[in-house]
Structure 1
């Protein structure tokens, strides 16, 4: 086996290939995978097909990003992006039966519209024109370490008749994730123990949904779509906390959270021929209502001696329209032009109360706890592209964005923002296995409306102040992507990026003595990402594949307290994921290994570094009694590795370089096992 591994490594480094590559060359430099390529995996849905495309990493897009253009993932269906945002790409792909997929095409983003410019890989899922009914039924049962079994399930159906397709999906997502762990609070620099806590978290999250769509394909540049989604979601956390101070009485603290969300979305689009191309009108409306109730009580022998309660009610709405005209050939150039208009609003009411020793509630005024945030935003864009030679393509474009933002309530703020966002992409695809792309794009980040509103974090005993003066960061982003097919249908890819970022969005001090989301100075971000997807038949593992994804990045910006350069809050310095899978007819198995360090957040008086966990291993085995049925038995966190978090405290703030206290947290959900049954029909 050692010799075989060395042979495979040499083949990768030298760029050797083996016969029987499954992919084919398509128009515009696209790589094609016919449906027969995926039969070895016995997929039941389009989602499982997409996950088996060599070297392709699914990006879901950002549901919370306002507007349509910037929320794109990296998958289109029959050349069109789904006109939905609350339905994730995973949900949309999961309800398309695998037997309705004719082929998969992978190409550069500029082939599929301005939303994907600068992406080296976008996947186009081409569906068959077959009629009739097809669908999938999925049922899952999970068993956590407490012995509780939690069921969930979904059913989706696709019916096609003539030029029309109807898709309906309903489901119940259900998770129960108990955790147990400890907190240790120590004095610094001595390391003396101040307080020990034993905690048990009982976490439940339930979501019921109904979604559907209608599609009509009337020929070239003649189509229409209509989609909707209704969902209700509830998140609950109940924490018991036995507290053992070194000095003082033992306490039995409690923490509870109950979040309830209702959401409705209706969207659609119409495409018609115009001036030798196509004009497309997209409309989308989303309404989301959320109620949050939480409490944190300090108790001695069951008697409440203090604590906090917080209630939050918010309504978040979005209404948008987008008009796009495109043509594949205008004097040798592909052209796309359009406009988008969006109205977004957030109406938030936060009420925080402190409980005294008698149990009376006293209102705590936060800097901005009642506010209505509105944004009227419009953009116009123009993009052109053409082939400079049989192997080189250039794409150019610009977007002009203007918005008017108002904040009303506990504070009054109003401003108008205007940005010009040019871009240039050069793509090189010579004959053979190589492909390279370089891009330079001007980007402007979106503001999170929640950052305007103050609220308490009872789980962390701190206040996150709002900032009505926050403005979006903007950046010049450069990216070089080089990829090569190896070992037949394998792929190796390297991405090198450098971003120069102005007005970095991070955390800043407030006049009230808190800190809040705000803007720092100019910062930089440099990263390298690698993707390797290799077939293992040449080293004697029939039906095997090995995947490797890594990311290393360095960020730097001046800290407002220490005035020294530090990393951006919330960004890890590295991560990697290794996967090994083997498909053997009716049987398959997979092991997946992920790791990453903590992600520090730089608050006014602390450095909070959560999410430390290494290694984290998931595995499953599958049995396929027939082509329509898959039975999967799997386990998450099979090495029983806990997650950790470290908080370092400073007084009065981080301008003092010597911390006075450290809090270490450890949480473990232990091993979770699941059994999943999938059955496709039609």
Structure 2
């Protein structure tokens, strides 16, 4: 009784109570102090747990499961909606419990470590809505129309969810660029301003139909539009010569849709699941750059346009059965990816019109037809030890059309072996060894242009996906009333790693540059402050450190991966004041990214040194949750440095150095969310 009385409300959970006897069970009462509106609000408050993985546009087909959240024992199959999107549409009132379980025991190949299984029952029509708005005092328009509204319900054997959302933001910065000669003397001072934003309105639907207790079908449909703009005016004042005014505008838009479904039913001694998915998006990109001078000379400029048609079609089957006290699954998948691109490059003519320039390398198509088969085995070796093994083989053909037409075929083995040990109720240890194959970015096969940086990216029709051997350790430790900790260590050895590399005939492109390795260490957790007398307060944190090594193809030196994260720290303090509807908190985030290396330059862009936000929240304003945030109150800034050479590195002399220091300014956000 003393232990129960000493335990804060935020630490009251139960063990067992589900089909998995080792599950940690979080009842709805555990989350009551946070007044959750959706399953996402609840999962986000599990101590030491961070949502990760899930199908997305960058994943190779559907493949084995890789997320750490499932719903009613099933993984999400949509690739257009994120895990967070789908969880946000499940009403908190419908959640029966959340089970934190060992992924090896779930009969879903690919899941390892701790997985949150959200158990919910659709109890009738319910809705969720959120409105997100905000503004910045400098350089940006107001963010007015962000948010989502969703409706879930049932009719007989049919459950449905319909949502209308707009993921959007507005951003910008202003400051000074300094351009220096190789000897350090100032060449030009530039006043810059950057403003931009995006809107992604989308209609999504999900239908689940229970033909019987053992036959269930799902249908996912979505359609959306993407809109993005960037305006980057610049005034250049050289030490010698005429002043210059640059007008740089970027616009991008296009539709996207997804149609996907699955059906699962008994077949022989097991169950068969059939999955199909079709998705497509079109991106219309345009970039105009015009420089005008105050000495009367004619303006100069360029235009670059690009239209991309990106599609994916997937068919997959999974047959699962139990044998010898183990779970087995055989699966097969056929995936067909395609990119069709039309690009055009123009120069500004004396009359003010844009005249076309030859740009054949930016036009063509890339497709990959991929087939894979897999056999998985999962077994509990004892009450505290479980094993999962997956063996997979894939066959793929990559074809390119256009001026650099090419066709190649590949056979690759892959798979994983995972072992999970639970020596104590509050300690889980998972060790995974895996062989993985990456998904290519088809845009790297074709040429493109970055006008503002004066960089041309040539195409490479010899690209192959990089592969890796991965060794991953995950340790989860409960701290009782104090919270929990999670430690992750991931060592990867890459083959055919992809980065910028020099072309034999001149120029550069994305290409396979050889072997590389990366060690990733991560510590995350939740520390409850109830034991020290601050009831309802907690600190959530995540810290990451990476060591990377790849041989630079331009200089032969060892360096980190271009643009990759070197380290970051994210700390959130939240206090839900007991016996009130108020909460407040502060978050601190710092991120250190590696630079990049190219044939004629190297550089690095980053923001910081530290972002810090303050928020205050009331969970019952006429039944609504209202939150106000004062962001970036420590004044983090945007930085970019680069050094450009007059000929290929490392032998070239420095042509110029650029140093950018821009103000971001404070960020004010306001949100309202509720249920109906």
Give the Å deviation of 1:106: 2.0
Q: Distance in 2 between matches of 1:112 and 1:351?
A: 51
Native 8 Å contact 2:561 2:594 kept in 1: no
Say whether residues 1:84 and 2:78 are aligned partners.
Answer: yes
Give 2:103's aligned residue: 109
How many residues align? The count is 661
Give the Å deviation of 1:511: 3.1
1:614-633 → structure 2 map (5 Å cutoff)? 614-625=609-620, 628-633=623-628
SS at match of 1:575: strand
Give 2:130's aligned residue: 138
SS at match of 1:654: coil
Give 2:150's aligned residue: 156
Give the Å deviation of 1:653: 2.2
Q: Distance in 2 between matches of 1:395 and 1:19?
A: 37
Native 8 Å contact 2:386 2:419 kept in 1: yes
Say whether residues 1:604 and 2:599 are aligned partners.
Answer: yes
Give 2:273's aligned residue: 280
CA 1:490/1:275 → structure 2, altered by over 3 Å: closer, same or farther? farther
Native 8 Å contact 1:269 1:282 kept in 2: yes
Q: Distance in 2 between matches of 1:207 and 1:19?
A: 41
Give 1:229's aligned residue: 222
Give 2:402's aligned residue: 409
User: Which range moves more in the overlay, 353-362 or 49-58?
Assistant: 353-362
Q: 1:475-526: CA deviations, max 9, x gaps?
A: 1100112221013261111112211111111111113422111011111111
Q: Distance in 1 between matches of 2:329 and 2:213?
A: 17
Q: Distance in 2 between matches of 1:114 and 1:185?
A: 55
CA 1:241/1:219 → structure 2, altered by over 3 Å: closer, same or farther? same
1:350-365 → structure 2 map (5 Å cutoff)? 350-356=343-349, 359=352, 361-365=354-358
Native 8 Å contact 2:607 2:636 kept in 1: no
Q: Distance in 1 between matches of 2:107 and 2:623?
A: 35
Give 1:479's aligned residue: 472
Q: Distance in 2 between matches of 1:386 and 1:618?
A: 46
Native 8 Å contact 2:103 2:113 kept in 1: yes
Q: 1:314-365: CA deviations, max 9, x gaps?
A: 11111111100113x3111111111011111100011111225554544444
1:204-353 → structure 2 map (5 Å cutoff)? 204-217=197-210, 221-301=214-294, 305-327=299-321, 329-353=322-346
CA 1:79/1:286 → structure 2, altered by over 3 Å: closer, same or farther? same
User: Which range moves more in the overlay, 139-148 or 88-97?
Assistant: 139-148
User: Which range moves more in the overlay, 355-364 or 23-32?
Assistant: 355-364
Give 1:442's aligned residue: 435
Give 1:12's aligned residue: none
Q: 1:361-415: CA deviations, max 9, x gaps?
A: 4444446211111111111111101122211111111111111110001211100
Give 1:666's aligned residue: 661
Give 2:608's aligned residue: 613
Give 1:14's aligned residue: none
Q: 1:536-567: CA deviations, max 9, x gaps?
A: 10112110111121111111111112112221
Give 1:389's aligned residue: 382
Say whether residues 1:38 and 2:31 are aligned partners.
Answer: yes
Give the Å deviation of 1:148: 4.6
CA 1:600/1:367 → structure 2, altered by over 3 Å: closer, same or farther? farther
CA 1:120/1:366 → structure 2, altered by over 3 Å: closer, same or farther? farther
* TM-score where L is the length of structure 2: 0.94
SS at match of 2:33: helix
Give the Å deviation of 1:305: 2.0
Give the Å deviation of 1:34: 1.1
Q: Distance in 2 between matches of 1:303 and 1:41?
A: 64
Q: 1:72-124: CA deviations, max 9, x gaps?
A: 4332111112221111222211222211111112223334455634x313221
User: Which range moves more in the overlay, 559-568 or 330-339?
Assistant: 559-568
Q: Distance in 1 between matches of 2:530 and 2:129?
A: 33
Give 1:63's aligned residue: 57
Native 8 Å contact 1:547 1:580 kept in 2: yes
User: Which range moves more in the overlay, 223-232 or 454-463?
Assistant: 454-463
Give the Å deviation of 1:605: 1.3
Give the Å deviation of 1:651: 3.6
Native 8 Å contact 1:508 1:517 kept in 2: yes
Q: 1:274-293: CA deviations, max 9, x gaps?
A: 23332111111101111111
Give 2:162's aligned residue: 168
CA 1:240/1:334 → structure 2, altered by over 3 Å: closer, same or farther? same
Give 2:45's aligned residue: 52
CA 1:18/1:367 → structure 2, altered by over 3 Å: closer, same or farther? farther
CA 1:476/1:343 → structure 2, altered by over 3 Å: closer, same or farther? same
- Superposition RMSD on alpha carbons, in Å? 2.1
Q: Distance in 1 between matches of 2:550 and 2:461?
A: 22
Native 8 Å contact 1:305 1:358 kept in 2: no
Q: Distance in 2 between matches of 1:141 and 1:423?
A: 44
Q: Distance in 2 between matches of 1:246 and 1:512?
A: 36
Say whether residues 1:581 and 2:574 are aligned partners.
Answer: yes
Equivalent of residue 24 in structure 1, options 14, 37, 57: 14
Q: Distance in 1 between matches of 2:79 and 2:317?
A: 17
Say whether residues 1:650 and 2:650 are aligned partners.
Answer: no
SS at match of 1:48: helix
Native 8 Å contact 2:326 2:379 kept in 1: yes
Give the Å deviation of 1:19: 7.6
User: Which range moves more in the overlay, 102-111 or 521-530?
Assistant: 102-111
Give the Å deviation of 1:28: 5.7
Q: Distance in 2 between matches of 1:213 and 1:82?
A: 11
Unpaired stretches in structure 2, ≥5 consecutive residues: 1-5
Give 2:196's aligned residue: 203
Equivalent of residue 452 in structure 1, options 445, 460, 463: 445
Native 8 Å contact 1:503 1:521 kept in 2: yes
Q: Distance in 2 between matches of 1:73 and 1:457?
A: 35
SS at match of 1:429: strand
User: Which range moves more in the overlay, 643-652 or 545-554?
Assistant: 643-652
CA 1:620/1:334 → structure 2, altered by over 3 Å: closer, same or farther? same
Unpaired stretches in structure 1, ≥5 consecutive residues: 1-16
Native 8 Å contact 1:297 1:304 kept in 2: no
User: Which range moves more in the overlay, 374-383 or 101-110?
Assistant: 101-110
